[in-house]
Amino acid sequence: MRIARHAILWVALLVIAALIVLSAYGALIGADSAKELFNSVPLVAFWCLLILLLLVGFIAFPRLVKSPASLLMHLAPLFILAGAMWGSEKAHEVRRSVGQALMPTATKLLGPSKADQFVNGWLEAGKVPTGYIALHEGEEDNRILDRGTQQPVAELPFKVRLKSFTIDYYPPRDDRWSLMIGLPVYDAGGDLVDERRATLKWAPDRETPITGTPIRLRVLQYLPHAGLLFEKGTKPYVEITTAEGQTVTLPAEVGKEVELKNPPLKIRVEKLFVNLRVQGAGAERQITDSPGEGSNPAVAVTLTQPDGTSRTRYLMAIMPMHGQAGEGLTMTYVLPQPTGAKPDPESKVPAMEVQLTADGRSHRVWLLPQEGDRQASLSLAPLVPAAKAEAVQRGLPALYLAAPRQDVKAYKSDVEILEDYRRMAHKVVEVNHPLHYGGYHFYQHSYGDQGGMYSVFSVVSDSGLWPVWIGFGMLCAATVWRMWLTPGWKYLMGEAEQKENAKC
């Protein structure tokens, strides 16, 4: 028996050594390959060997069962392995196939509802291990997409709805915007491949050269809170051009309207936007103004026909192709260009006036970020005669007045779960705060703003999680017990005994 016990312990040492070697190899090949390795058939055999070894150990070493700490610390890996295996991707696939095969027999034997309970509840055969759900604001869906193919792989028995997605930022450490130079970067073949930005250090009334250019810069004014100045009399307007080439100007003020003869339309300004934002899609599309979160100036106009029917169009200053009415009519929302700035305590953007000197000549220009902008740029190409055509086309070199870097504080997705149109759960999902519902966890994965703000959730099955947590808890408790509490107790008892002895 002693030899058998010794042999078992040697196998244990070898298993530990093998796991160390495999892990070192796994670290070299990278996470994805390592995951494949440790879930491959030979390794599954290895895990089964480990389970067998532990079970044999319980039989061969009675002390392992009698001592609570030893029992816990050796039971723990069994729980962890069992949970990990039940929750693995392969196990999900196997259970799916088994479930599909068993369902007819189960239905015959147990009846449909008990069969469903057995196959989908107990066996968890209907679940997928992981996937994605991508939702635009206002959108709901129940399809889980595969990570690789982006194709739907499963349908949840409930819908996930994204009410809104917002990003919270930390307040910037320094309110001051920085002056930066953007220089073209060429590759070995002389082609423009990138832009390199560098911060320019400036002090009031000091002339500094702009690196990489023959231009010298002097900051004349920096207004931390600036309101824009426009040429006297200039105001935003809508320029309407008919198919015949006739041009009409409609001042962009709410209520102003103009009547066209051909086509016969009455065009009226309904609303002005500082930052037009489209949320949702299709019938649920919502159009709002979100000042301060960007700059997308727009105007909403209604076109009314003689029979009374009307439609609304949204004209965006920076995307003039959108919102056209057809019928040969072209409408453009024109914003006047600011010519300067004055201090305005209500404004959230600064302005800077600089003097640029090159070739013996000086120019005074303003850098004027608009409300909601994170930077204002100015092409310096006209002052750099040696600039290559490619660079000039890209507006390089360029001078930037850039907002201080914003560190993200939180990505927040306001999510609800709907079953049969009833709200079953609601949570603001953030990193470190997933939503747990219906056997899945939903994690904030990523986001974007194409076609409106959207959020991508990582969906993970919770199968096999509980045995893993129990195993973790057992392992922690057992090591603390055996290595801290027991010796600590012995020490205290030893001290007490010595005190007793000292008394004698």
40 binding another protein? (CB under 8 A) = no
> Do the beta carbons of residue 399 and residue 378 sit within 8 Å?
yes
> Do the beta carbons of residue 57 and residue 74 sit within 8 Å?
yes
For another protein, which is the closer residue by CB, 342 or 405? 405
3-state secondary structure 217-234: EEEEEEECCEEEECCCCC
489 binding another protein? (CB under 8 A) = no
> Do the beta carbons of residue 95 and residue 125 sit within 8 Å?
yes
Question: From the list 7, 23, 285, 319, which residue makes contact with another protein (rule: CB under 8 A)?
Answer: 23
439 binding another protein? (CB under 8 A) = no
226 binding another protein? (CB under 8 A) = no
Question: From the list 55, 196, 209, 484, which residue makes contact with another protein (rule: CB under 8 A)?
Answer: 484
- Residue 132: how many other CB atoms lie within 10 Å: 17
19 binding another protein? (CB under 8 A) = yes
Q: Are β-strands 340-343 and 330-334 bridged in parallel, bridged antiparallel, or unpaired? A: unpaired
Question: From the list 191, 207, 253, 495, which residue makes contact with another protein (rule: CB under 8 A)?
Answer: 495
243 binding another protein? (CB under 8 A) = no
476 binding another protein? (CB under 8 A) = yes
For another protein, which is the closer residue by CB, 49 or 431? 431
448 binding another protein? (CB under 8 A) = no
Helices (H) and strands (E) in the chain, counts: 10, 27
User: How many CA atoms does the CB half-sphere of 64 hold within 13 Å?
Assistant: 14
Does residue 72 come out as left (phi exceeding 0), alpha (psi in the -120 to 50 range) or beta? alpha
For another protein, which is the closer residue by CB, 332 or 479? 479
Q: Which helix (H) or strand (E) holds 75?
A: helix 68-87
128 binding another protein? (CB under 8 A) = no
Outline where DSSP puts E strands in 115-254: 130-136, 140-145, 152-169, 178-186, 192-199, 207-209, 216-223, 226-229, 237-241, 247-251
Q: Which helix (H) or strand (E) holds 90?
A: helix 89-110
Question: From the list 12, 51, 154, 229, which residue makes contact with another protein (rule: CB under 8 A)?
Answer: 12
For another protein, which is the closer residue by CB, 155 or 495? 495
For another protein, which is the closer residue by CB, 343 or 487? 487
147 binding another protein? (CB under 8 A) = no
Q: Please count the residues of this chain forming the interface with another protein, following the rule CB under 8 A.
A: 51
480 binding another protein? (CB under 8 A) = yes
Provide the minimum distance between the beta carbon of 155 and another protein in the complex, in angstroms, as a whole number: 20
User: How many CA atoms does the CB half-sphere of 354 hold within 13 Å?
Assistant: 28
Alpha carbon distance 200, 203 (integer Å): 10
Contact positions toward another protein, by CB under 8 A? 6, 9-10, 12-13, 16-17, 19-20, 23-24, 26-28, 30-31, 34-35, 38, 84, 130, 170, 407-411, 430-432, 434, 441, 443, 458, 460, 465, 468-469, 472, 475-476, 479-480, 483-484, 487, 490-491, 494-495, 498
